[in-house]
Structures are given as structure tokens and as C-alpha cells.
Amino acid sequence: MKAFFIERYGKQSAMIGDMPDPAVGVHDVLIQVHATSVNPLDSKIKTGDFKLILPYTFPLVLGNDLAGVVIRTGAAVERFKPGDEVYARPPEARIGTFAELIAVDENALALKPSNLDMAQAASIPLAALTAWQALVETAQLKKGQKVLIHAGSGGVGTLAIQLAKHLGAFVATTTSTANVQWVKALGADVVIDYTHEDFAHELRDFDVVLHSLGTALLEKSLKVLKPGGQLISLSGPPTAQFAQAQGLSWVLGQVMRLLSSGIRRKARKQGVNYAFLFMRANGTQLQKITSLIETGVIKPVIDRSFPFESIAEALRYVEQGRSRGKVTVTIR
């Protein structure tokens, strides 16, 4: 099969070439990938940012989102059959959606929303699961609560705004001048233009902040939270609880405890809870997201699409950090 893979970590290390077809385990579903999407996570994996917590072997096929068609199932698979149109974020230990084929554990899969094409469906899984696990699972966001979603025009932000509004929350977000009206149209109640406004001066008494940016904004986000509020970060620093959940070594757990000690201490002083979220594959949650998509509650937001042979260009475009919503890649 053709795939986009790396043989070592580095900015210029990826290439398109031939790779063996994936082995199919008894609980696996072999999928012909029709489309994928590019996430900032892909670049971080490529450059080795996560090599301590995600110890991949080489050659490594990149890619964390897919939409495609089932062509074969393992002996123990019960919920899917050849011909099914599916989508998924594969489990983190078995990524590889930048390829013509991938084998995915059936528990990570869901049937593709019937009202989306393959590229639209491929834009959804990682970003939507991140929003779901942050707002529904971790924050347990309730009607009438106030949530600040940083980077509202990004892949996660565009879906998190829609999900938060569905849950009945009051939503504030941050973006640049060019995107202010655009994110308002997604449902944001208040939009902070970070080019000339300071969210920490404008917002108060929020229940939840979903953070995905740098350390400086992480600490500033504490100022907008009320006592008992929750600061949920997608970009870190990771905690010892995360290390334990990932099954990492005691030493790494202590390193992460130290890395997060500053923000945890400041959060405690303010009566706020800090949590680091590293999203995980979950087909059951993705099926619930499918229902929201099919009823029009959540709609995909796609900036642009690239052909498979231009996937390196797609990665470079996402690395610029200026895309509105998701960037997709058509493979078949």
C-alpha cells in the first residue's frame, strides 16, 4: 500500500512510499481509507515531541483521523461488516491513517454520519472526541454554565463551540480579527479579538476554560475562573495522573508531577481544578457524536482539502496555525 511515513524523527523526515499491508487481528477491522485529516498532533509526532509518552517504532505511518470503507473483519468482530462506511480516530498506539489501508480495533470505530461525505467525516473524529471528552466527560458542562474556549477558529475550537452551545452553556472564545464574525456564526456568545483585547480583563466568573495554547495563556486563564471552576488543557503540562493512566514509568510520572506543579499550585490557591487532557479513541462516544451530526447539531468546518500526493504541503499549512477548522486529505 502507499503511505506517508517517517523513518526517524525530524521536521523533514516524512515521505510517501510503499509499506506492507497492515496485519488484521481478531478484533480489528481492515479499512480502505478514502479520506483523512491533518492535526497539529501529526506534526508533533513527526518531530518527536511525544516520544517519551508514545514510544513508536519505525517506519511509522502518520495520521490520526480516517473515513473509509470496511473491506475485511477479524474473527471476533461483531459490529461491522465489509462494505460499511466508517470513521474513527485510531487508538494512539496504532495510528497510521495517512495510508491506503489501516487496521483499527472495532471499539474505536463508528458508522460514518449518513449526511457527510468522506472528507467531511474524516475532519471529525479527533477534534470532536477531544471536545466531547473535555466538555462532556471531564467538565460535565451543564446548561447555564459559562465556558471559555481558546482558539475558537481551530479544528477543536469550531466543534467545541457547537457542542457547548448544544449543552446549553454560555460560550466565549478567542480568535483573530478576521475570524470574529465567523466564530460568532458558529454560536459563540462573546468573541475576544486577541489582537487588541485581553480576555483576562474582559471575562469573569467562568466555570470552565478549554485551553490549547501556550503556558502564558494557561496561567492567565486562571483569572477568568470562579472558585470551583475547571481549567482543562490540551497542550499541557501533563500531570502524574495522566502518566498513571497511560501506564508510564514511575520516573516519568514524577517528571510530569514536577512539570505541572506550578500551574496546579496556582490553581489550588484560587480554588480551581487543573486537568491535562490527552484524548483517546472511543467508538461509543463517536457514535453519540454521529447522532448530533445527523440531526444538524454539529457541522464539520473544513478550511481546505489536499490530494494525497500533496500531504506534506497540507502538514506545512496546518503548522502555520492559521487554518479555519480542519484540513482534509483525499486518499481515494
Backbone angles phi, psi at 228, to 5 degrees: 90, -5
What is the grid cell recorded at 81?
461488516
Chain region(s) in the chain for CATH 3.40.50.720: 126-276
Percent of the chain clearing pLDDT 70 (strictly above): 100
pLDDT at 64: 98
Which CATH architecture best describes the domain 126-276?
Answer: 3-Layer(aba) Sandwich (3.40)
Distances (CA, A) of 293 to 120, 166, 199, 290: 11, 12, 30, 5
Which CATH architecture best describes the domain 2-124+300-330?
Answer: Alpha-Beta Complex (3.90)
CB-CB contact of 312 with 135 (8 Å): no
Instruction: Point out the residues of the chain with pLDDT beneath 50.
Output: none
Per residue in 99-117, pLDDT (tens digit) is 999 999 999 999 999 999 9
Per residue in 212-252, pLDDT (tens digit) is 988 889 999 999 999 999 999 999 899 999 999 888 899 99
Residue type at position 261: S
pLDDT at 83: 98
Radius of gyration from C-alpha coordinates of the chain: 19
CA 46, 47, 51, 56 dihedral sign is positive
pLDDT at 53: 84
Chain region(s) in the chain for CATH 3.90.180.10: 2-124+300-330
Cross-strand bridge partners of residue 86: 68, 111
pLDDT at 322: 84
pLDDT at 267: 95
